[in-house]
Amino acid sequence: MIISCPHCRAKNRVKAERFNDEPACGSCGKTLLAGKPVALGDGSFDEVLAASRRPVVVDFWAAWCGPCRGFAPVFEQAAARHPEWLFAKVDTDASPQLSQQLSIRSIPTLAVFRDGKVVDRVSGALPAAQFEQWLAAALR
Ligand SMILES: [Zn+2]
Protein backbone atom coordinates (compact mmCIF):
# COMPACT_ATOMS: atom_id res chain seq x y z
CA MET A 1 0.00 0.00 0.00
CA ILE A 2 1.10 3.59 -0.52
CA ILE A 3 1.59 5.72 2.59
CA SER A 4 2.40 9.44 2.36
CA CYS A 5 5.05 10.33 4.94
CA PRO A 6 3.48 12.65 7.57
CA HIS A 7 6.84 14.41 7.96
CA CYS A 8 8.02 15.04 4.38
CA ARG A 9 4.98 13.90 2.26
CA ALA A 10 7.09 11.45 0.23
CA LYS A 11 5.06 8.47 -0.99
CA ASN A 12 6.24 5.17 0.47
CA ARG A 13 5.25 1.68 -0.64
CA VAL A 14 4.69 -0.47 2.46
CA LYS A 15 4.03 -4.20 2.18
CA ALA A 16 1.15 -5.47 4.34
CA GLU A 17 3.44 -8.06 5.99
CA ARG A 18 5.91 -5.29 7.00
CA PHE A 19 3.22 -2.93 8.20
CA ASN A 20 3.69 -3.69 11.91
CA ASP A 21 7.51 -3.55 11.85
CA GLU A 22 7.64 0.24 12.34
CA PRO A 23 8.47 1.11 8.73
CA ALA A 24 10.59 4.23 8.21
CA CYS A 25 10.23 6.78 5.40
CA GLY A 26 12.57 6.02 2.49
CA SER A 27 13.10 9.74 1.97
CA CYS A 28 13.54 11.36 5.43
CA GLY A 29 14.10 8.24 7.54
CA LYS A 30 11.48 9.11 10.15
CA THR A 31 8.91 6.61 11.43
CA LEU A 32 5.98 6.53 9.01
CA LEU A 33 3.21 5.25 11.24
CA ALA A 34 3.81 6.58 14.75
CA GLY A 35 3.96 9.99 16.38
CA LYS A 36 2.17 11.92 13.65
CA PRO A 37 -1.18 11.29 11.89
CA VAL A 38 -0.96 9.67 8.45
CA ALA A 39 -3.31 10.68 5.64
CA LEU A 40 -5.56 7.84 4.44
CA GLY A 41 -8.26 7.77 1.81
CA ASP A 42 -10.40 5.65 -0.47
CA GLY A 43 -7.35 3.86 -1.87
CA SER A 44 -5.57 3.00 1.39
CA PHE A 45 -8.00 2.93 4.32
CA ASP A 46 -9.28 -0.66 4.16
CA GLU A 47 -5.81 -2.08 3.56
CA VAL A 48 -4.30 -0.17 6.46
CA LEU A 49 -7.10 -1.18 8.82
CA ALA A 50 -6.72 -4.82 7.84
CA ALA A 51 -2.94 -4.73 8.28
CA SER A 52 -2.65 -2.77 11.53
CA ARG A 53 -2.28 -4.74 14.75
CA ARG A 54 -2.51 -1.46 16.68
CA PRO A 55 -5.85 0.28 17.24
CA VAL A 56 -6.44 2.98 14.62
CA VAL A 57 -7.80 6.40 15.64
CA VAL A 58 -9.29 8.29 12.68
CA ASP A 59 -10.20 11.95 12.24
CA PHE A 60 -12.64 12.47 9.34
CA TRP A 61 -12.27 16.10 8.30
CA ALA A 62 -12.36 18.58 5.42
CA ALA A 63 -10.32 21.68 4.63
CA TRP A 64 -13.36 24.04 4.60
CA CYS A 65 -14.53 22.89 8.07
CA GLY A 66 -13.57 25.38 10.80
CA PRO A 67 -14.10 23.04 13.77
CA CYS A 68 -11.93 20.43 11.94
CA ARG A 69 -9.07 22.92 11.63
CA GLY A 70 -9.51 23.85 15.30
CA PHE A 71 -9.32 20.20 16.30
CA ALA A 72 -6.25 19.35 14.17
CA PRO A 73 -3.63 20.40 16.79
CA VAL A 74 -5.44 18.37 19.49
CA PHE A 75 -5.29 15.31 17.23
CA GLU A 76 -1.60 15.92 16.41
CA GLN A 77 -0.71 16.22 20.09
CA ALA A 78 -2.55 13.00 20.92
CA ALA A 79 -0.66 11.24 18.11
CA ALA A 80 2.65 12.46 19.55
CA ARG A 81 1.65 11.27 23.05
CA HIS A 82 0.42 7.84 21.96
CA PRO A 83 2.82 6.12 19.55
CA GLU A 84 1.15 2.84 20.63
CA TRP A 85 -1.90 3.75 18.51
CA LEU A 86 -2.02 4.59 14.81
CA PHE A 87 -3.51 8.04 14.15
CA ALA A 88 -4.96 8.69 10.70
CA LYS A 89 -6.78 11.54 8.98
CA VAL A 90 -9.28 11.08 6.18
CA ASP A 91 -10.15 14.09 4.01
CA THR A 92 -13.85 13.38 3.39
CA ASP A 93 -13.96 15.54 0.22
CA ALA A 94 -11.15 13.49 -1.31
CA SER A 95 -12.65 10.17 -0.13
CA PRO A 96 -16.36 10.13 -1.01
CA GLN A 97 -16.61 6.31 -1.14
CA LEU A 98 -15.23 5.90 2.35
CA SER A 99 -17.45 8.65 3.76
CA GLN A 100 -20.48 6.93 2.30
CA GLN A 101 -19.39 3.45 3.38
CA LEU A 102 -18.94 4.64 6.99
CA SER A 103 -21.97 6.96 6.90
CA ILE A 104 -19.99 10.07 7.85
CA ARG A 105 -22.73 12.71 8.03
CA SER A 106 -21.02 15.48 9.95
CA ILE A 107 -17.41 16.46 10.46
CA PRO A 108 -15.25 16.23 12.28
CA THR A 109 -16.16 12.62 13.09
CA LEU A 110 -13.69 10.72 15.27
CA ALA A 111 -13.61 6.94 15.24
CA VAL A 112 -11.57 4.18 16.84
CA PHE A 113 -11.04 0.89 15.01
CA ARG A 114 -9.68 -2.32 16.45
CA ASP A 115 -9.06 -5.41 14.29
CA GLY A 116 -10.64 -3.52 11.40
CA LYS A 117 -13.92 -2.88 13.23
CA VAL A 118 -15.21 0.38 14.65
CA VAL A 119 -15.32 0.25 18.46
CA ASP A 120 -16.49 3.80 19.08
CA ARG A 121 -17.18 7.02 17.18
CA VAL A 122 -18.22 10.53 18.03
CA SER A 123 -19.15 13.59 15.96
CA GLY A 124 -17.86 17.05 16.76
CA ALA A 125 -14.50 18.43 17.84
CA LEU A 126 -13.57 17.54 21.41
CA PRO A 127 -11.36 19.62 23.71
CA ALA A 128 -8.00 17.93 24.41
CA ALA A 129 -8.90 16.59 27.88
CA GLN A 130 -12.22 15.17 26.68
CA PHE A 131 -10.58 13.62 23.62
CA GLU A 132 -8.06 11.85 25.88
CA GLN A 133 -10.87 10.57 28.11
CA TRP A 134 -12.85 9.36 25.14
CA LEU A 135 -9.79 7.58 23.69
CA ALA A 136 -8.99 5.94 27.01
CA ALA A 137 -12.57 4.70 27.34
CA ALA A 138 -12.75 3.47 23.73
CA LEU A 139 -9.44 1.62 23.99
CA ARG A 140 -9.81 0.19 27.48
ZN1 LIG B 1 9.52 11.26 5.13
Q: What are phi and psi of 123, to 5 degrees?
A: -105, 140
Mean per-residue pLDDT, 39-47: 94
Separation of 5 CA from ligand 1 center, angstroms? 5
Please state whether the predicted TM-score (pTM) of the whole model is above 0.85: yes
pLDDT > 90 in the chain, percent? 97
Whether the bond into 6 is cis, omega within 30 of 0: no
Q: What is the pLDDT of residues 58-78, one digit of tens each?
A: 999 999 999 999 999 999 999
Separation of 88 CA from ligand 1 center, angstroms? 16
- Ligand 1 is a single-atom ion; what residues have CB below 5 A from it? 5, 7-8, 10, 25, 27-28
Count CB neighbours of 33 within 10 A.
28
pLDDT > 70 in the chain, percent? 100
pLDDT at 92 exceeding the cut of 90 = yes
End-to-end CA distance of the chain: 29
**What's the rounded Cα separation, in Å, for the pair 4 and 40?**
8
Helix pair angle (128-138, 66-81), 10° resolution: 60
> What pLDDT score does 140 carry?
86
Separation of 123 CA from ligand 1 center, angstroms? 31
Q: What is the pLDDT of residues 26-38, one digit of tens each?
A: 999 999 999 999 9
Active site positions, annotated: 65, 68
DSSP tag of 37 = P
Separation of 43 CA from ligand 1 center, angstroms? 20
> What pLDDT score does 80 carry?
97
**What's the rounded Cα separation, in Å, for the pair 13 and 109?**
28
User: Are the CB atoms for 39 and 89 separated by under 8 Å?
Assistant: yes
Mean per-residue pLDDT, 89-95: 97
> What pLDDT score does 67 carry?
97
